[in-house]
Amino acid sequence: MRGEAQRVPLDREVIVTWISREILPHEAGVRAWLRRAWPHRQDHQDIIQEAYCRLAGAALEQVHNPRAFFFQIIRNLLLEEMRRARVVRFRALSDLDSLGLADDLPSCERVVLARDELQQIHALLAAMPARRRRIFEMRKIEDLSQKDIAARLGVSENVVENETAKALKTILKAFSEASPAQDGAKIEYEHDAGRPVRLG
Amino acid sequence: MSMTQDDPSDWVDECAADWVVRLDRLHIEPHESADLQAWLGQDVRRQGAFLRAQAAWARLDGLGAPGAVAVPARHGLRHRPDRRAFWAGGMAAGAALALGGGALLRRDSRLTTTVGEVRRVPLQDGSVATINTDSTLSLGFEPQTRRIALGKGEAWFQVAKDSARPFVVEAGLVRVMAVGTAFSVRRRNGAEEVIVTEGVVQAWRADVPGRRLTLRAGERARIASQGAPWTRVEQKAALEQSLAWREGEIVLSGQPLAQAVAEFNRYNEVKLAVDDPALADQTLVGRFDANDPEGFAQAVGIALRTPVVQVEGSIRLGRAGG
């Protein structure tokens, strides 16, 4: 998983963009699996955070199936922990296997996921206090800098920064709490070969 | 997980969001901020949360545009073999646990289970016998007594109250008597084992009827099956583990591999064997399907980093060159 020593590290911006497009949309599915396979663990968020750290150091340019890769990282984290603790839970392992080997989502599912996500984000924005929503829209939709937003609204840059951060936290938290539409456990679709496959 | 900090994960996420927005305001690169580097420190969770927050921030770019949120490209859809099917191939011999199967019962009848089978059988008096793998029971219900002979194996009895008719289980020379209670009896080499889950039972040896042992809920006793009539009673025994077989499970809590393997072999025709003596003492923790030795072997292979090979109806653990 770690790249070889001579590998040139990817630019941070490239990594962030790739993660935002290829990994983030699958987080809900990973969480759904964690909840199903490890319902009693309290540290799902810790596992997710540690997985993202691994992703930052991985040879992403060699990844062909990001969703499977994400699951593979989670799997490795759990396996390493099992080895340390000498705890073996076969059911979790076999579940993990079936997920790690699952094919990537077909394109129609991806579009549905993205559309649901967009709706979700707009719903979150709609529920925010008016000033926060306005600031966030100016920053992310109208692409104004924080400084320009402060000047236009006649507030300090600190206010803009605080409101923007609060909006981002709300959205991040929503990503952590998968909506039913994004909960892969509930989505079934026909595989290319006509075989029903249970996702996530 | 390997962590150096004990911050709650929600707090880590919030700090990560603060950092992303602060960098956005000041137009500096993440690696240029010494404060950020100090915060990221050695905690991999912080590093992961920061990357995730950055990714979420990037994903929100151009939110208003039509078709805004990026649809990830589809990558490498390839056919892969289903490993579970591979394991299932060797599982044919592992008979399904037939819990809840209400076998019809004649008076004075014999009840048997095959290897890997667990049967739950209602008896004519309202008691229930749950019979473990590879066991034989003979029932002799009479007006004055309810007698059950455990020929081999193990069974757990939930005894219907009937003070006029004691319920007596015979295991070799050992007798276990209850009025209304729940207990199990298992035949083992050299000793019979009695576990009481509810109420009180009396146990004794048929050749020493005057020496009776009173056992209460939560106690496990081993009684010599022949020779000197020694007994050993354990209080607060881990009963749920010992009786996990009722749910078709084997529960390990630090038992050595050799013992775990012996336990699996009680339930399955596909036998496990430990070829590397160094492995036999390795202890394991876990909860397994009793009739899935392949799954257990696979888990052991991963946990102990040892080869697992299937050879003619057996599974060898730790075989060199396997």
Check if the beta carbon of residue B195 is closer than 8 Å to that of residue B239.
yes
Q: Judge whether A1 and A73 are in contact, CB under 8 Å.
A: yes
Residues in A closer than 8 angstroms to B3, CB to CB, are: 46, 50
Contact B307, B300 (CB under 8 A): no
Domain count, chain A: 2
Q: Tell me the mean pLDDT in the region A92-97.
A: 51
Residues A89 and A119 in one domain: no
Pair A154, A188: CB distance under 8 Å: no
CA atoms within 13 A on the CB side of B196: 25
In a domain, A2, yes or no: no
Residue B70 forms contact with A (CB below 8 Å): yes
Range of the domain at A145: 108-182
Instruction: Examine the pLDDT at A184 and tell me if it is beyond 60.
Output: no
Q: What burial letters (b/e) apply to B151-181, b meaning 16+ CB within 10 Å?
A: eebbbbbbbbeeeebebbbbbbbbbbbbbeb
> B211 vs A194, B202, B203, B216, B229, CA distance in Å?
69, 10, 9, 17, 9
Any idea which of A23-27, A53-57, A76-80, A148-152 has the lowest mean pLDDT?
A76-80
Same domain, A114 and A73: no
How is domain B248-317 classified at the CATH fold level?
Phage tail protein beta-alpha-beta fold (3.55.50)
Q: How confident is the model at residue B26 (pLDDT cuts 50, 70, 90)?
A: confident
Chain B residues with CB under 8 Å of A140 CB are 60-63
B20 confidence band (pLDDT: 50, 70, 90): very high
Whether the pLDDT of residue A6 is over 50: the answer is no
What span, in angstroms and rounded, lies between the C-alpha atoms of A174 and A165?
Answer: 14
Q: Please indicate, yes or no, if residue A189 is contained in any of the structural domains.
A: no
A106–B contact, CB cutoff 8 A? yes
Average pLDDT over residues B179-187: 88
Chain B residue numbers touching A71 (CB-CB < 8 A): none
Residues of chain A in contact with residue B83, where contact means CB-CB under 8 angstroms, are 97, 101
In the predicted model, is pLDDT for residue B229 greater than 70?
yes
| pLDDT confidence of residue A112 | 60
- Residues A154 and A170 grouped into a single domain: yes
Q: Do A22 and B72 touch (CB under 8 A)?
A: yes
Comma-separated ranges of CATH 2.60.120.1440 domains in chain B: 110-241
Residues A126 and A88 in one domain: no
* Tokens 């393997």 sit on residue: B261
A128 and A45 co-located in one domain: no
For residue B3, pLDDT over 70 is answered with no
Most A CBs within 10 A among B19, B27, B45, B50, hence the mutation to make, goes to: B45
CB contact under 8 A, A64 and B75: yes
Record: contact A19-B51, CB cut-off 8 A: yes
Contact A88 B69 (CB under 8 A): no
Query: Band of the pLDDT at A87, cuts 50, 70, 90?
Result: low
- CATH fold, domain B110-241, is Jelly Rolls (2.60.120)
Q: Per the CB < 8 Å rule, is B74 touching A104?
A: yes
Q: Is B136 exposed, middle or buried (0-12, 13-18, 19+ CB in 10 A)?
A: middle
CB contact under 8 A, B285 and A81: no
Asked if residue B116 has pLDDT above 60, the reply is yes
Contact A21 B72 (CB under 8 A): yes
pLDDT at B13 over 80: yes
pLDDT of residue B252: 82
From the CA of B166, how many Å to the nearest CA of chain A? 42
| B32 or B4: which leads in pLDDT | B32
Total-model pTM: 0.46
Q: Which of A59, A82, A104 is the last residue of a domain?
A: A104
A16 with A100, same domain: the answer is yes
Spatial separation of the C-alpha atoms in residues B38 and B255, rounded to whole Å: 44
